[in-house]
Amino acid sequence: MSLDVTRIRSLFPALASGAAFFDNPGGTQVPQRVLDRMTEHLKASNANLGGAFPTSLASEELVEQGRQALADFLNAGDAREIVFGPNMTSLTFALSRALAQEWEPGDEIVVTRLDHDANITPWVLAAQERGCYVRWLDFDVEDCTLRIEQLEDLLGHRTRLVAVGYASNAVGTINDIPRVIRMAHQAGALCFIDAVHYAPHGPIDVQALNCDFMAASTYKFFGPHLGVLYGRYELLDRLPAYRVRPAPQAPPGKFETGTQNHEGIAGALGAMDYLAWLGREFGMEHAERFAGAFSGRRLALKQALAAVRAYEMELTRKMSEALASIPGLTIYGITENAALDLRVPTFSFRLDGYHPRQVAERLGQAGVYVWDGNYYAVAVTERLGVEERGGMVRAGAVHYNTPEEVERLGEALRALREEHG
């Protein structure tokens, strides 16, 4: 069964505003179940962990439920491989400091010019502090795809880490992550995957990928602001952590500095509730693909994201066609119909005669919400030569968006173009 988008949209209170939300790459809207979970926690079990009284014990149970739910979402082998934090950036900085303790002067790391800066600067700073070299993997400016064939030349016996994004938050490219991980491991290096932008668009399986670390943010897949880090348990256990003395000495607790965002974890659990419902309700046609390897909530979550991926392919085609039909509009990234399965429905573009901020402002006044600038993907906008000119306009769809909203986006942009003459 294909997605019943009308029914799905009824579960998201913010969508009743009438606005067309294409600002999703910066953060999605949340379903009612997320709000309910957070409210339930704050009303009935709002307490810190470690106490001997009911609300503290209930909070501890909530955190463990949330940890297991995210382990199911990513298909981690052990719930202790899930670390919570304020956001992906903070978790990546913490992990970079831990990993760098094992680096020696002259060692090397690899980062890409297609990534969000949170998957670049933490590693670059750590490398500088340890006297290590940074090697950069470039991307093709014509279609914004990584030049993975050049990665082999960047890898060597001194490579300690390869950091790459699952999908570009700027131009929507889905990278060949299995290939990158294999190449990194063949060189004896660890691999860190930034899955923040890919997570709402397709199923993830860290065990099948065999990645060492992966980070995500629940507010990008229909939850509240919360960072999530997956790490292979043996690595998390081995690595030193910057922590206060009474904190747990074993993972994941040793990496969770200070009191965690319990209401955020409750909301993340609500997001998993919603996605599991989505999978059971609309993902049964994908059950055979996953049934041999998954069951229960894990199966439902994989079905959900497979159904989302199938639906979003149509949105991707419609967005590509709508934007390409507007004179004077330049799309950055994959536009060939035969290659659209190599991207998510996130499109960045510039419109002749307008600064990106002007476009975002005018669209916002028309009830169409988009981003402008560099979205912290500074390396991308610099490489494309648009950083000094205001970056790009970014419109990103998720599964609650509709073809009619895509038409609305196109019409609003066409009106701007005609106004400029």
What are the extents of the domains in the chain? 5-31+306-420, 33-272
Q: Contact at 8 Å (CB) between 320 and 331?
A: yes
Mean pLDDT over 287-298 rounds to: 92
Residues facing residue 8 across a β-bridge: none
How large is the average pLDDT for residues 301-321?
Answer: 98
Query: Which residues partner with 135 through β-bridges?
Result: 110
What are the two backbone dihedrals, phi and then psi, of residue 260, each rounded to the nearest 5 degrees? Answer: -85, 170
pLDDT of residue 420: 80
Secondary structure of residue 308 in the 3-state scheme: helix
The alpha-helical segments, DSSP class H, found in 149-252 are 151-154, 177-186, 206-209, 233-238
Taking residues 58-79, report their average pLDDT.
98
Q: What is the CATH number of domain 33-272?
A: 3.40.640.10
Contact indicator for 371, 394 with CB cutoff of 8 Å: yes
| The predicted structure's pLDDT at residue 161 | 98
* Other Cβ atoms within 10 Å of 229 Cβ, number: 25
The average confidence (pLDDT) of the chain is 97
**297 CB neighbour count, 10 Å cutoff:** 19
- Average pLDDT for residues 367-383, to the nearest whole number? 98
Task: Provide the pLDDT confidence category of residue 1 given band limits of 50, 70 and 90.
Answer: low
Who wins on pLDDT, 1 or 47?
A: 47
pLDDT (0 to 100) of residue 2:
86
The structure's pTM equals: 0.97
Residues paired with residue 228 on neighbouring β-strands, in sequence order: 84, 216
- pLDDT tens per residue, range 191-213: 999 999 999 999 999 999 999 99
User: Which is it for the CA torsion 348, 354, 359, 360, positive or negative?
Assistant: positive
- Dist. CA 297–CA 304, nearest whole Å: 10
- In terms of Cβ atoms closer than 10 Å to its own Cβ (0-12, 13-18, 19+), residue 91 is buried
Kindly state the tokens that stand for 162: 């390869």
Query: Which residue in the block uniquely carries the two structure tokens 């990645």?
Result: 211
| Mean pLDDT of the region 82-100 | 97
Is the pLDDT higher at 61 or at 243?
61
Q: How far apart are CA 23 and CA 2, in angstroms?
A: 24
Q: Which residues contact 173 (CB under 8 A, 6 or more apart)?
A: 114, 139, 143, 144, 145, 146, 167, 333, 334, 342, 343
Note the pLDDT of residue 149. 96
CA 170 to chain centre: 12
pLDDT, residue 64, reads 98
Nearest to residue 229, comparing CAs of 27, 59, 24, 76? Answer: 76
- What pLDDT, in 10s, does the model give residues 404-413? 999 999 999 9
Other CB atoms within a 10 A radius of the CB of residue 291 amount to 12
For the chain, the 3-state helix, strand and coil shares in percent, each to the nearest 5, are 50, 15, 35
Domain with residues 5-31+306-420, CATH architecture: Alpha-Beta Complex (3.90)
For 192-342, where are the alpha helices, taking DSSP H only? 206-209, 233-238, 262-282, 287-290, 296-324
Which residues make Cβ contacts (< 8 Å) with residue 238, sequence separation at least 6? Answer: none
Per DSSP, the three-state class of 330 is strand
